[in-house]
Amino acid sequence: MKLLDLHNLSQKRLKALQSAGIHHPEDLLDFFPRRYIDKSNIRPIKMLQEGSEPVTVVGTVKSKQVTGYKQKKRLEVIVQDQTASIKAVYFKGWRYFITQFEEGSLVALYGVAKRFGHYFSMAHPEVDVLKRVEETAKYDTLHPIYPGNKHFSKAYISNPLIKDWVAQILKSTSIPEILPDNILKRHKLPTRDDAYRTIHQPKSTKEAEEALNRFKYEEFFLFELSMARIKNIQITRAEGAILEPGDLTRQFIKKVLPFELTEGQKDGLSDIRSDLNSGRQMNRLIQGDVGAGKTVVAIGSMLMALDNGMQAALMAPPEILAEQHYQTLTTYLEPLGVNIRLLTGGQPAALRRDVLSDISGGGCQIVVGTHAIFQKKVAFNRLGLAVIDEQHRFGVKQRNEVLMKGDNPHLLVMSATPIPRSLAMTIYSDLDISLIKGLPSGRKEIKTAVRTDKERQNVYKFLEQSVRSGDQVYVVFPLIEESEAMDLKDATMGFEKLKRHFPDFKIALLHGQMKPDEKDGIMKRFADGETDILVSTTVIEVGVDVPNASIMIIEHAERFGLSQLHQLRGRIGRGSKQSYCILMPDTKLSKDGRYRLKKMIDTTDGFEIAEADLKLRGPGDFLGTKQSGLPEFRHGDIVEDRLLLEMAKNDAWALIKSDPELESAGLGGLKKVFEPYFRERAEFFGIG
């Protein structure tokens, strides 16, 4: 069957369907109802009562007229049964609805009845044209309501017309199954054919939910199947050097580190050691809250490479963060005689040539830098392990470029942005994941409080006392310059006010519109203790450690996302001092705004905060547009449907483990659908 075979399908209607992505009959089957209505509650018009529950009335069209002027034009239709009459009123799309009513015809109206004086009225009721009253027997089933758009309205594509088209397609189509029989039976899922018929023609809400769950499971299953095959290809293709910890690793942990490793750090190193000893290329994500000690785990991992005569590389996004990593590694590893070099895009040409020569000659054991260290010009002598910090700033393709560098180096990626389990199962499915929980000894939990603008003078007194006792302060604003559209305090104006209020203090301004060198200079002076108060936008969300910075004031805190507030708060509390985060919201707080601030006070656990933020904002907004790798699921929600997602993942990974190419009998339908789906995902992941 072709789309053009459908009844009453004009060229205008065909174009309208195409605007919604409907080009084939199967596309129309995938055009799921957005909701269902139950028309079975049929009432005589005289027995109607005003309320919020929709009802159905059946009667004869007595009259219709268009009244009003210009934008206030409306269609009014009088429908009468044996007991009384009711007025149906249409404001939008009245030109279409006027064609649905013929005087003397029998119609069923479905909507909410409202009383106006002595008569009842329905605004924009659903209308069915009937031949006889007995047709209302079909109202024992649910009625699908399909999504609409302006093109549908202009082409007079009504809900009944879409229902009719779908019924035509279902009558002439048999839909093949793609899920294995054992999965259908184990989870009691309807067949694909039954699910399509039920989703468009359900007899009950329960039936509709069961059909929708089938499709949610199916799209989760296809995605996880592709992730499992990608992982399988990576494991099959890439052997990795076997790396064992030696003297450098042991000396670092037992003699150099001034503290005991936390249990989380020990577990992370144990996972990494197991990977490095497997003979397969490691591809692992270390997730830890801000301040959890991921860098120490990364150093331990890199030393395992050095213990086996290989090089290691650490990549961090902005130059200032790369420089801080370089300084940290130098402090820790200089006593062990390790040769560490820094490579960034802004280095003088002569120094850069010297670093590149040292890397290719093998004299450089660890190179630290920005993206520059994985450019084609950089030739490693024997790269054994690559570490990527702040994973959320890089896409999947960049990770795979690193995996292809040199002779299959092991890959360790780190993220201080807590990702809830349900989200990690999707965007990081190609990675093995280790979680580092808990804080290193000596770190104190940050105290968080909410203060109003009326309490500002008390906040400033506290700030002044803290600075005079040697502490440094962040003051964070949501905007750079004043915006008329949003009544927010901006960083520039806040900077000027603070300078006037604290003339004796050294105050600096930092924002994202500054040039990189200027930003790095301001941040470096703050890190060196030359600045008392740093007024900033969210550019400091991911940045260098300033152990002496123990106070943070966040202006208009209600405007920030939960995870963003937590990341900002993570800039303090890096030393042994007690740290304080003061949230200063606007006086007009929304329900979500109050919830976010309360959550910040109640917990400092980044994973708990991330779960709450994900529920508030959804996956797309939670990650932001820069995050790559997140699939767009049409039916499933990875937060609400996490149990289905986990079930699909377990089934998919088990299937790929037993039958990587889906060659078994009974998998023909699945393979036909999966192969083009997989090619698209594999291309995205850089796998041929």
536 backbone φψ class: left, alpha, beta (φ>0; ψ -120 to 50): beta
3-class SS of residue 105: coil
Give the tens place of pLDDT for each residue, 421-434.
Answer: 777 777 777 788 88
Is the distance from CB of 440 to CB of 663 less than 8 angstroms? no
Give the tens place of pLDDT for each residue, 167-198.
Answer: 999 999 989 999 999 999 999 999 999 999 99
CB atoms within 10 A of CB 216: 20
State the pTM of this model: 0.72
Higher-scoring residue by pLDDT: 415, 274: 274
pLDDT, residue 143, reads 87
pLDDT, residue 628, reads 47
Tell me what percent of the chain is helix, strand and coil, each rounded to the nearest 5. Answer: 45, 20, 35
401 CB-side CA count, 13 A: 14
Token digits of residue 580: 């304080």
155-159, 404-408, 449-453, 513-517: range with lowest mean pLDDT: 404-408
pLDDT, residue 403, reads 65
pLDDT at 642 over 50: yes
Q: Which residues pair with 65 in a beta bridge?
A: 76
Helices (H), 469-605: 491-501, 516-527, 562-569, 591-602
Is the distance from CB of 368 to CB of 394 less than 8 angstroms? no
Residues 6+ apart with CB under 8 A from 524: 320
Report the C-alpha gap between 375 and 381 in whole angstroms: 15
Give the domains, in start order, of the chain with CATH numbers: 39-141 (2.40.50.140), 247-436 (3.40.50.300), 447-603 (3.40.50.300)
CB atoms within 10 A of CB 293: 20
Give the tens place of pLDDT for each residue, 454-499.
Answer: 999 999 999 999 999 999 999 999 876 655 555 566 889 999 999 9
Report the C-alpha gap between 458 and 470 in whole angstroms: 19
Token digits of residue 605: 């656990």
Which amino acid is it at 680? E
Is the distance from CB of 543 to CB of 320 less than 8 angstroms? yes
DSSP state, residue 239: B
Is the distance from CB of 90 to CB of 124 less than 8 angstroms? yes
Higher-scoring residue by pLDDT: 293, 473: 473
Is the distance from CB of 39 to CB of 108 less than 8 angstroms? yes
pLDDT, residue 491, reads 86
pLDDT, residue 319, reads 78
3-class SS of residue 554: strand
Token digits of residue 315: 């990549």
